[in-house]
Structure 1
Amino acid sequence: MERIEHGSDLFDEMKQRFLSFKKHKYMQNLELYEKLAKGQAPKFMVIACADSRVCPSSILGFQPGEAFVVRNVANMVPPYENGPSETNAGLEFAVNSLKVENILVIGHSQCGGIRALMSMHDDVETSSLIGSWVSVGMNARVRTKAATKLLNFDQQCKHCEKESVNCSLANLLTYPWVEEKVRNGELAIHGAYYDFVDCAFEKWTLDYKESNLKDKGGRVAVKDRAFWF
């Protein structure tokens, strides 16, 4: 009974938050919400981690209708050849139906998914659902291990948190309809890193013309790097 009562308390608080939202935001912006009821036309697709500490709308102030958001463990984008997933289903809808102009992949500090990836043993198959999912970022793990041999495990994880974002940017270009729009200047791809320990945000944009992804071991080039703190 204690669990049920505790749950009831949580939903009572949630109810008050909803009623406050309705009074102070919905009713005071009724024209906006009536417009959104007829359809959406967001400029951004955001791919972020499911971690409860990194809500994109809270961090970046997205308002309803501004961003189509997909969240998963470790904010990963699987390559096209991996087949269907909820992440690339959302990607297809955002790019081909909503016609978003920007895709933003946000990594973050102290990511448990990246820590799981960095803890995996080489050449050992995992039966874990989390392990199977984060193995999408194996290229980021390999590159991190090669570049950070002298660093401790925590430092390696932080490096991989950013490296995995760039691997996801590269994976985005394996989708023909994404690559075509990027090549034609109709879609821009961005990476970002949110450090919630120091409340700092780093953003960069994929440089399609300078990236070399066709050769084995090719990497993305980036531009317009900015730090917000």
Structure 2
Amino acid sequence: MLPWSLRSAARRLAAATRAAGSAAVAAPAPWQERPPAVEDREERAAVWEDDHWPRRRPRRSDFSCTTKASTDHSGLTRQLLDFQHDTVDETDGGYDPFSQLKERFTDFKQRNYVENFTNYQKLAEQQTPEFMVVACADSRVCPTSILGLQPGDAFTVRNVANLVPPYEHGASETTAALEFAVNSLQVPNVLVVGHSRCGGIQALMSMKSKKDDRSSRTFIRDWVSLGKSARLSTEAAAGNLSFESQCRHCEKESINSSLLNLLTYPWIEERVKEGNLNLHGGYYNFIDCTFEKWTLVYRPGLEGGSKYAIKNRSTWS
């Protein structure tokens, strides 16, 4: 315990500190002071400048401060939800790319949806498609229009050059769609659709045989390189033909390559062996509007000869 003299000195020091703090709070800062009451505005300004120059109000940069980012996003979310968007009924007078789509949607609703209302109500509850379709993203190749597919007929995924990566490639939008279609929807058919004058196949055939320089790699080149085996087969079988002919050969060869890649997925191979899943290839030639179709036969227990064969090949024209 402190002696009485030290305790008394400590109390006096604390009292003096509180008094000094109160005075500091009470005294206005230089920039908070007000000029004397002078009626004339110009004279008042002169008095203010004479009394306070060169004083100035501190800038924000005079202070060092640390801003702590908030981890609570509820405020921003609430602002976005509460924000009232202005609605504009008319365009700025230019071309509206959605006007034709609106007309088509209205026509679809009246001619298709309303007339088949019961069927659409069933589809709203569940889907049981007959096909899983892997098609190219090319705007000229729409499997729904070409094959007359209706809502509920096919679970579809489209990518550049209609490629199916092998199982070891890992996750992608195509593999995720295949997994859902085969395991969850249990589709009985998978159809890979290629087409004429495919830009993705042209990019594949344009790649050099030697390893490309890393600086020249792009998303497209990395993706179409999945069809390397089809390109090598094409070069071996049709290397003496023109580039256009090689591309057409590779367009069909890449479909078969994708069909073989499908069998690298354990759950696809199992269903094919059980006879619950069929793998098909299709080739749409939009130059003369023909469609070739074939089915892959998988015979894993066959000794001698190929385990794969093609059946039911036909051309629709």
- TM bucket normalised to smaller: over 0.9
Residue 221, structure 1, aligned to residue 297, structure 2? no
Partner of 1:68: 155
SS at match of 2:152: coil
> For residue 177 of structure 2, what is the amino acid of its counterpart?
G
8 Å contact from structure 2 (residues 299, 308) kept in 1: no
8 Å contact from structure 2 (residues 195, 251) kept in 1: yes
8 Å contact from structure 1 (residues 207, 223) kept in 2: yes
8 Å contact from structure 1 (residues 116, 134) kept in 2: yes
Task: State the 1:221 CA deviation.
Answer: 2.0
SS at match of 2:295: strand
State the distance in 2 between where 1:149 and 1:167 align. Answer: 18
> For residue 59 of structure 1, what is the amino acid of its counterpart?
I
Q: Give me the CA root mean square deviation.
A: 1.9
State the distance in 2 between where 1:196 and 1:161 align. Answer: 13
Residue 168, structure 1, aligned to residue 258, structure 2? yes
Residue 147, structure 1, aligned to residue 234, structure 2? no
Counterparts of 1:17-56 in structure 2, within 5 Å, are 17-56=104-143
Select between 126-135 and 156-165 the one with higher mean Cα deviation. 126-135
C-alpha spacing 1:151/1:210, structure 2 compared with 1 (3 Å): farther
Segments ≥4 residues shifted beyond 4 Å: 4-8
Task: State the 1:124 CA deviation.
Answer: 2.5
How many equivalent pairs are there?
Answer: 222
Unaligned runs of 5+ in 2: 1-90
State the distance in 2 between where 1:219 and 1:179 align. Answer: 13
SS at match of 1:28: coil
State the distance in 1 between where 2:271 and 2:141 align. Answer: 28
Counterparts of 1:1-229 in structure 2, within 5 Å, are 8-125=95-212, 126-209=216-299, 220-229=308-317
Select between 141-150 and 4-13 the one with higher mean Cα deviation. 4-13
Q: Give the structure with the higher percent strand.
A: 1
Partner of 2:79: none
Identity score, percent: 59
SS at match of 2:230: helix
Which structure ranks higher in relative contact order (CA pairs < 8 Å, sequence separation ≥ 6)? Answer: 1
SS at match of 2:126: coil
Task: State the 1:123 CA deviation.
Answer: 2.3
C-alpha spacing 1:207/1:171, structure 2 compared with 1 (3 Å): same
8 Å contact from structure 2 (residues 299, 307) kept in 1: no
Task: State the 1:135 CA deviation.
Answer: 0.4
> For residue 163 of structure 1, what is the amino acid of its counterpart?
E
Deviations 1:195-215 (A, max 9, x none): 000000000000112898xx9
Deviations 1:60-117 (A, max 9, x none): 0011001000100000000000110000000000000000000000010000000000
> For residue 222 of structure 2, what is the amino acid of its counterpart?
S
> For residue 168 of structure 2, what is the amino acid of its counterpart?
E
State the distance in 1 between where 2:237 and 2:301 align. Answer: 19
SS at match of 1:183: helix
8 Å contact from structure 1 (residues 80, 175) kept in 2: yes
State the distance in 2 between where 1:115 and 1:152 align. Answer: 12
> For residue 225 of structure 1, what is the amino acid of its counterpart?
R
> For residue 313 of structure 2, what is the amino acid of its counterpart?
R
State the distance in 2 between where 1:6 and 1:56 align. Answer: 35
